[in-house]
Amino acid sequence: MSLDYSKYSNLSPFELKDTLISLASSKADRVMLNAGRGNPNFLATLPRGAFFLLGQFALTEARLSLSYLAPGLGGTVRIDGIETRFDRFLADHQGQEEATLLGSALSYVRDQMGLPADTFLLEMVEGILGCYYPTPPRMLTLSEKIVGQYVLREMVGGELPLDSTDFFATEGGTAAMAYIFNSLKQNGLVCKGDKVAIGMPIFSPYIEIPQLEEYGLEVVAIQADPALDWQYPDSELEKLRDPAIKIFFCVNPSNPPSVKMNDASLEKVAAIVQERPDLMILTDDVYGTFADGFRSLYAVCPRNTILVYSFSKYFGATGWRLGVIGMHKDNVLDTKLAQLPADTKQALDKRYASLTTDVAAVKFIDRLVADSRAVALNHTAGLSTPQQVQMVLFSLFALIDQEDRYKATLKSVIRRREAALYRELGVKPSEDANAVDYYTLIDLEDTCRALHGADFAAWMLKQAGTGEILFRIADETGIVLLPGSGFGGVRPAARASLANLNEFQYAAIGRALRKMVDEYYQQFSSKNA
């Protein structure tokens, strides 16, 4: 194979993967195994079934009025008697799992959350029909409460009351990230040339966006240490004391190491925030629902933290584009807005003048909503209402599952896949209690040392510098892995998703990688004979 690997050095790992996929799929008689893809091959079927059944009920409700005018024409849904009609509809579908879930969901909303059943049903029916703009645009009123209860239970463990937090429903975690970066810039909270801290390794867009010309931010790496099971050393977290650092971006559990921050790190950051109450934090906790006993940074320093969560991975719903931004009602960003210089405030008064006569009272989270639609289209902002309904049903499905059976099954599936890969590779997987294992980071040095000794590992590190290994793996084995360096890793490593292939395929990946390592070892042995 004669490829100039150097020309790919500046590509994002997600762009590089297309080249790797092309190599891996180049042989017609070989199955390509794409372990670089984070999209899971499992999905939550029951809340989806509930969505489709609810859609049938919604159609019957719409047909109650105006249908006399023309075939296929319905009208406004009536709230009077809607709960009785819904009970009758469920009775007609008795014995169906999705009907049972819808009945349980209504009971939970009414009896456990104290929300009015008829208002909830109206919001869900109108929402799934998609007949109105989202009102309010940030998030449907009861949907925000239900999704908020789920997110706070999973991310915070009930340590914060539901009414403490505002939520904004977004088109997945990706949109949340884009909106936050944009509004931080538009509101003068992060300006070109400012220092920002990034917990490394991390989902690569968090590295790439600050480097764009329109942001031009100076990045301070907060590097997790593989020798500490991918926790941040105190010496790295101490960098956050620098008053020039405006915001700390982190993914927790991490991507790609897939390890949650331990209690010591959480407490360390919280202590730093006590000394630096101006520090802003963005924590992206999409993998938190896969962890045991997860606690977000939002749990320990809520006033300083923007919380991002996505339903994509846990529910196998990447195509639904479902995410939320959570912010404490008393937060440092709103405080910073109030402290902006007079000329900046004047410019922002002009920016948001079409929304209100009192721009100073517009919270940062509501500015996110407005900015997401270039302000002028604020009245059309908000995640589509059918998407919000599916988000609500995912949330209620999890809230009702008191024994966490769904979660236990997912964790078991992922960990069996990890065990299969490492068993065939011939090395032990991590036994860290903080590991989530949605991804695994295969460290080149550690793997080679474990299999063939330190001298061979040192020789392989020199080979890694050529950029050859991942391309050779793709070309010769049909396996796609992503480079750890693209995520801010400092050691040669490959990221493999444990979510998107079946167990026997991970075993095949392990065997293929072991075979290639052994071939490299033969080269090493012949040169050093």
pLDDT digits (tens, 9 = 90+) for 289-312: 999 899 999 999 999 999 999 999
115-149: per-residue pLDDT in tens?
A: 999 999 999 999 999 999 999 999 999 999 999 99
Confidence of residue 19 (pLDDT cuts 50, 70, 90): confident
The proportion of the chain whose per-residue pLDDT surpasses 90, expressed as a percent, equals 84
In the predicted structure, residue 205 carries a pLDDT above the cut 60: yes
Confidence of residue 5 (pLDDT cuts 50, 70, 90): low
138-192: per-residue pLDDT in tens?
A: 999 999 999 999 999 999 987 899 999 999 999 999 999 999 999 999 999 999 9
Confidence of residue 67 (pLDDT cuts 50, 70, 90): confident
Tokens of 130: 């998609």
Average pLDDT over residues 47-62: 97
Residue 403 burial by Cβ neighbours in a 10 Å radius (0-12, 13-18, 19+) = exposed
Confidence of residue 529 (pLDDT cuts 50, 70, 90): confident
Tokens of 86: 């819904």
Q: CB–CB of 230/252 below 8 Å?
A: no
Q: What angle do CA 172, 174, 179 make, to 5 degrees?
A: 100
Q: How confident is the model at residue 137, as a pLDDT? A: 94
469-501: per-residue pLDDT in tens?
A: 888 888 888 999 998 888 888 888 999 999 999
Rama region for 341: left / alpha / beta (φ>0; ψ in -120 to 50; rest):
beta
Q: How confident is the model at residue 36, as a pLDDT? A: 87
Q: What angle do CA 167, 173, 175 make, to 5 degrees?
A: 90
Cis before 253? omega within 30: yes
Distance of CA 184 to the CA centre of its chain: 20
In the predicted structure, residue 466 carries a pLDDT above the cut 60: no
Residue 446 burial by Cβ neighbours in a 10 Å radius (0-12, 13-18, 19+) = middle
Chain mean pLDDT for the chain: 94
CA distance 254 to 299: 17
C-alpha torsion 212→213→215→216, nearest 10? 100
Q: How confident is the model at residue 465, as a pLDDT? A: 66
Q: Which secondary-structure segment (H or E) carries 168?
A: strand 165-171
Q: How confident is the model at residue 1, as a pLDDT? A: 46
Confidence of residue 4 (pLDDT cuts 50, 70, 90): low
In the predicted structure, residue 313 carries a pLDDT above the cut 80: yes
Q: Which secondary-structure segment (H or E) carries 410?
A: helix 405-425
Domains with residue ranges and CATH for the chain: 5-30+405-527 (3.90.1150.10), 45-132 (1.10.20.110), 141-399 (3.40.640.10)
